Amino acid sequence: MANPLTRKLEAFAPLPEADRRLIDDICRNPRDVGPREDLIREGDDPRDVQLILEGFACRYKLLPNGRRQITAYLIPGDFCDLHVFILRAMDHSIATLSPCRAVAIPRHRVLELTERPAIARALWWASLVDEAVLREWLVGVGARGADERIAHLLCELLMRLRTVGLATDGAYELPITQAELADTVGLTHIHVNRVLQRLRAEGSITLKGKQLVILDVDKLMAFSGFDVNYLHLSESNGKKEPCR
C-alpha cells in the first residue's frame, strides 16, 4: 500500500514522482512502538519529528485534578510536530494509543521535505487542517450534546481514515478503549459506554471489538451536524451551506 503520508498529501494536490520517492526514502527504518507509550512528554525539548505510519497516537495533557484531555488523534500519515522545534519545551505530551509504527525524522530531513515546493504547500495545508480539526473538537465539547459529539467524532475519523485508505464505506478499525474515547470527548467512560449502546440500539453503528461500522453514513452525519468542509478535501467544496 502507498505511503500514508503520500496518500494524505495527495488529497490536497498530486506530488511529483521525485517527491514521492523522497517521502518513501524518509520513511525507511521505521520502529515499532507498543501501545500506551509516550513518544514525547510535556516539558521535553522537541528534537526529532515523529511521523505515524501505522496505528493511532494522540496528543494529551494531564491536569492537576488528575484528569486527562486528549486534544488530537494522530493517525497514519500524521506528523507529531512538524514546526515545534522553534520552541524550547513541549506544552503537551504525545503517546501511542494502539501499537504503532513510526519514524523519527531528524530536523535536517524535515528541511529536505520543506524545500520541495509541492510538499511544502501540502504540509502547510495539512497543518491548517489539523488546526481546523482542533477547532471542531472544541466546538463539539463546548456546544454539542454527548451523542452528537461522539457521532461527530466517528464521522470525522471515517473521513480522515478514508483519505489514507484505512476505511471503506462506513467501516474502519478503531483501536482505542472507551476510556480513551471518554478522555477525548470530555465525558466519563461510563457515559461513553451508554452513548455507544444507544447508537447501537438505534441501528446507527455496530462496534464489535475494535471493528466499527457506521451503518448509514449520511444519517449519522446529519444527526451529528457533521460538515466535511473543515477537512478541506479538494472534492468537497461547497457541498453544504454554513449555518447562519
Partner DNA sequence: CGGCAACTTGACAATGCTCAACGCGGGTGG
Partner DNA sequence: CCACCCGCGTTGAGCATTGTCAAGTTGCCG
92 close to 42: Cβ distance less than 8 angstroms = yes
CB neighbours of residue 33 within 10 Å: 21
Give CA–CA dist 150/86, Å, rounded: 34
Phi and psi at 171, nearest 5°, equal -110, 135
Which of the choices its own copies, DNA, none does residue 146 contact, using the CB cut-off of 5 to 8 A by kind? Answer: DNA
> Residue 191, interface with DNA (CB under 7 A)?
yes
Give CA–CA dist 181/175, Å, rounded: 10
> Residue 229, interface with its own copies (CB under 8 A)?
yes
Of 127 and 197, the one with the shorter C-beta distance to DNA is 197
Q: Which helix H or strand E contains 160, and what residues bound it? A: helix 146-163
- Under rule CB under 8 A, how many of the chain's residues touch its own copies? 53
43 close to 158: Cβ distance less than 8 angstroms = no
Candidate list 178, 206, 229, 236; residue touching DNA; CB under 7 A: 178
Residues 47-66, interacting with its own copies (CB under 8 A): 59, 61-65
233 close to 159: Cβ distance less than 8 angstroms = yes
Shortest distance, CB of residue 236 to its own copies, whole angstroms?
10
Which of the choices its own copies, DNA, none does residue 13 contact, using the CB cut-off of 5 to 8 A by kind? Answer: none
By CB under 8 A, name the binding residues for its own copies. 41-43, 59, 61-65, 67-69, 71-72, 83-84, 86-89, 91-93, 121, 124-125, 128, 131-132, 134-139, 141-144, 148, 183, 185-186, 225, 229-230, 232, 237-238, 241-244
